[in-house]
Amino acid sequence: MSAKTDRLLDVREAAERMGLKGERFPRRLVAERRIEYVKVGSHVRIRESAIDAYLAANTVEPIRRRPRSRALRRAA
């Protein structure tokens, strides 16, 4: 998404985009400077791309386990 079409979301909208019920976690991310944000006067706005980047950076991939061989199962 380009910067020109990247929407600025308020904290409530940011929470909704992250799939959260409340505003507490996005506010904590801003307070701890763990997510990029924009100050517009006294208001805090978070770019959609910043939310997407935060979610991508904190996504944990599942562990892919190799199937056990039959020889190992018989020995156990």
Residue 76 has pLDDT above 80, yes or no: no
Q: Whole-model pTM?
A: 0.75
The pLDDT assigned to 65 comes to 85
Residue 72 lies in a domain: no
The pLDDT assigned to 68 comes to 74
> Number of structural domains, the chain?
1
Residue 75 lies in a domain: no
Residue 68 lies in a domain: no
Residue 66 lies in a domain: no
Could you give the CA distance from residue 61 to residue 76 in angstroms, rounded to a whole number?
30
Residue 37 has pLDDT above 70, yes or no: yes
| Beta strands in 1-76, from DSSP E residues, in sequence order | 8-9, 38-40, 43-47
Average pLDDT over residues 59-67: 88
Residue span of the structural domain in which 24 resides:
8-59
Residue 55 lies in a domain: yes
Residue 52 lies in a domain: yes
Average pLDDT over residues 18-36: 97
Identify which of 54, 53, 60, 25 has the alpha carbon closest to the alpha carbon of residue 12.
25
Average pLDDT over residues 62-69: 82
